[in-house]
């Protein structure tokens, strides 16, 4: 073990900094992943298991068995019989304080016991109905669609508009180039929170209130994207463009056929960022989208958690679905994301 832990350090002894490192990492793993793991575990608990306090670690549900002659599976209880023996029996029905139990192996042998003589038998069980019920119980499909639509469409437009601007700023020499670049960069200093009220006016004047486009349009001209793509395009040799111009390629063709494909790595980074930004957006959609059929997943989550009686089992399942895409993207593209952030300093 010691050899494994120190194998890249080249000395055979653990000093206090090593102990601290591994202690810190273990604590970090627990603190950073623990809450998410707890969320996922809890999202598979039945409604009654969710309400249990203190909670159990694993999702447990009441064991059910099929009793011959009954069409639905019946719940299993551990029953203390009058003769003092304890047996696992299935409950057929319950009337008042007495319930009728039966041994599934001997379905003709009915036993009547007072309800306080039985305790439910639990087993590990994933309450997948928390997920499968979402579509039927809520307008879940609509929220999901709204989120996906905004994310994909806004990302495509962002890539197009930002790369066009970056192309102009990196491949042409024209009066005002510097001013325009600084103007675009200066909008980094104008966080959406500052222009919340007037933007609401602009969007409502354009008739985009309660429209997904009201979320998309204000978000697509990201200064970060222009900056990222321009820096990358500056590294492409201008000779390529000159050669194409000699061949009478139009400027649009040069942009579309030559520059854009060569910018693919930077476009990929921006696409990842844009997907995460739009998927996670909250304050602006909260202002623009007030009708529940226009809600994104984030807004729906916020609305449900504010309900008087929070249905945690569904809320947690919906939360898991909301964090799933980002998690999958991260799992596969972690290197891309962390390098992009470290180099551009943007989030």
Partner 1 sequence: MLRTLAAAPLAAASRVVEAPFRWVQSAFGLSPMPWLFLAPNLLILGVFTFLPLVINFYYAFTGGAELYPSQRPYVGAENLATLFDCGNYFDPSSCRKDLFWRAMWNTAKFSVLQVTLMVGFSVVTALVLNRKMAGRGFWRGVFFYPVLLSPVVVALIWKWILQREGVLNAVMIASGGAPAEWLTSGGWAFWWVIFVSIWAHMGFYTLILLAGLQAIPRDLYEAAQMDHASPWRTFSRITLPLLLPNLLVVGVLALIRAVQIFDEVFVLTGGGPGSATTFVVQFIYQTGFMEQIRLYGMAAAGSLVLAVALILLTLIQLRVANTEKAEAETR
Residues 5-44 close enough to bind partner 1 by CB under 8 A: 5, 7-9, 15-17, 20-21, 24-25, 28-29, 31-33, 35-36, 38-39, 42
The residue among 53 and 95 lying less far from partner 1, judged by its C-beta, is 53
Candidates 69, 96, 237, 306; binder of partner 1 (CB under 8 A) is: 306
Find the shortest distance in angstroms from Cβ 116 to partner 1: 24
Segment contacting partner 1 (CB under 8 A): 49-57, 109-117, 121-129, 234-242?
49-57
Instruction: State the Cα–Cα distance between residues 336 and 332, nearest whole angstrom.
Output: 9
The residue among 4 and 108 lying less far from partner 1, judged by its C-beta, is 4
Q: How far, CA to CA in Å, does 193 sit from each of 197, 208, 346?
A: 9, 19, 18
Candidates 48, 132, 292, 338; binder of partner 1 (CB under 8 A) is: 338
| 268 binding partner 1? (CB under 8 A) | no
The residue among 77 and 277 lying less far from partner 1, judged by its C-beta, is 277
Say how far residue 147 (Cα) sits from the centre of its chain.
11
| 248 binding partner 1? (CB under 8 A) | no
The residue among 92 and 153 lying less far from partner 1, judged by its C-beta, is 153
CA geometry: angle 97, 86, 88, nearest 5 deg: 75
Segment contacting partner 1 (CB under 8 A): 59-67, 86-94, 129-137, 175-183?
175-183
Find the shortest distance in angstroms from Cβ 247 to partner 1: 15
Candidates 66, 201, 234, 243; binder of partner 1 (CB under 8 A) is: 201
Instruction: State the Cα–Cα distance between residues 163 and 184, nearest whole angstrom.
Output: 13
Instruction: State the Cα–Cα distance between residues 51 and 47, nearest whole angstrom.
Output: 7
Segment contacting partner 1 (CB under 8 A): 79-87, 93-101, 136-144, 220-228?
220-228
Token pair 């696409």 is found at 271
Find the shortest distance in angstroms from Cβ 228 to partner 1: 13
Instruction: State the Cα–Cα distance between residues 302 and 319, nearest whole angstrom.
Output: 10
| 199 binding partner 1? (CB under 8 A) | yes
Among residues 191, 168, 189, which one has the least CA distance to residue 178?
168
**3-state DSSP call for residue 309?**
coil
Cis peptide before 321 (omega within 30 of 0): no
The residue among 51 and 115 lying less far from partner 1, judged by its C-beta, is 51
- Give the number of other Cβ atoms within 10 Å of residue 212's Cβ: 20
The residue among 67 and 315 lying less far from partner 1, judged by its C-beta, is 315
Candidates 145, 149, 213, 217; binder of partner 1 (CB under 8 A) is: 217
Binding residues for partner 1 restricted to 51-110, rule: CB under 8 A: 51, 53-55
Segment contacting partner 1 (CB under 8 A): 78-86, 136-144, 230-238, 281-289?
281-289
The CA-to-CA distance between both ends of the chain, in Å, stands at 38
Say how far residue 322 (Cα) sits from the centre of its chain.
3
| 184 binding partner 1? (CB under 8 A) | yes
| 207 binding partner 1? (CB under 8 A) | no
Candidates 58, 86, 135, 194; binder of partner 1 (CB under 8 A) is: 194
Residues in contact with 33: Cβ distance below 8 Å, sequence separation at least 6, in sequence order? none
Candidates 220, 267, 271, 317; binder of partner 1 (CB under 8 A) is: 220
Q: Sign (positive/negative) of CA torsion 123, 127, 129, 130?
A: positive
| 172 binding partner 1? (CB under 8 A) | yes
Query: What is 41-108 written as a DSSP string?
Result: HHHTS-HHHHH-SSPPSS-EEE-EEPPTT-SS-EEEEEEE-TTS-EEEEEEEEEETTEEEEEETTEEE
């Amino acid at each position: 073990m010691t050899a494994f832990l120190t194998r890249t350090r080249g000395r055979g002894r653990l000093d206090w900094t090593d102990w601290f490192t591994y202690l810190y990492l273990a604590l970090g793993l627990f603190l950073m992943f623990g809450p998410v793991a707890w969320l996922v575990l809890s999202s598979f608990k039945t409604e009654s298991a969710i309400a249990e306090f203190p909670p159990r670690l694993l999702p447990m549900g009441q064991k059910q068995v099929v009793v011959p002659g009954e069409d639905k599976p019946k719940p299993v209880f551990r029953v203390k019989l009058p003769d003092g023996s304890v047996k696992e029996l299935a409950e057929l029905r319950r009337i008042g304080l007495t319930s009728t139990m039966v041994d599934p192996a001997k379905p003709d042998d009915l036993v009547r016991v007072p309800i306080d003589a039985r305790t439910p038998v639990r087993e590990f069980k994933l309450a997948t109905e928390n997920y499968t019920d979402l579509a039927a119980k809520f307008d879940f499909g609509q929220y999901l669609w709204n989120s996906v639509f905004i994310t994909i469409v806004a990302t495509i437009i962002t890539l197009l508009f930002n790369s066009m601007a970056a192309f102009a700023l990196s491949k042409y020499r024209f009066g005002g180039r510097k001013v325009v670049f600084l103007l675009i960069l200066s909008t980094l200093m104008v966080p959406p929170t500052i222009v919340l009220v007037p933007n609401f006016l602009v969007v409502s004047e354009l008739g985009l209130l309660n429209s997904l486009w009201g979320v998309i349009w204000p978000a697509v001209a990201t200064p970060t994207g222009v900056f990222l793509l321009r820096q990358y395009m500056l590294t492409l040799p201008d000779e390529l463009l000159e050669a194409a111009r000699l061949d009478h390629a139009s400027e649009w063709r040069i942009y579309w056929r030559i520059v854009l494909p060569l910018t693919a790595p930077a476009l990929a980074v921006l696409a990842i960022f844009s997907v995460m930004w739009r998927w996670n957006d909250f304050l602006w959609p909260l202002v623009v989208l007030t009708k529940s059929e226009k809600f994104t997943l984030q807004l729906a989550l916020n609305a449900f958690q504010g309900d008087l009686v929070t249905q945690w089992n569904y809320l947690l399942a919906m939360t898991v679905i909301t964090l799933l895409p980002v998690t999958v993207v991260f799992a596969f593209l972690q290197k891309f994301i962390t390098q992009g952030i470290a180099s551009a300093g943007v989030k």
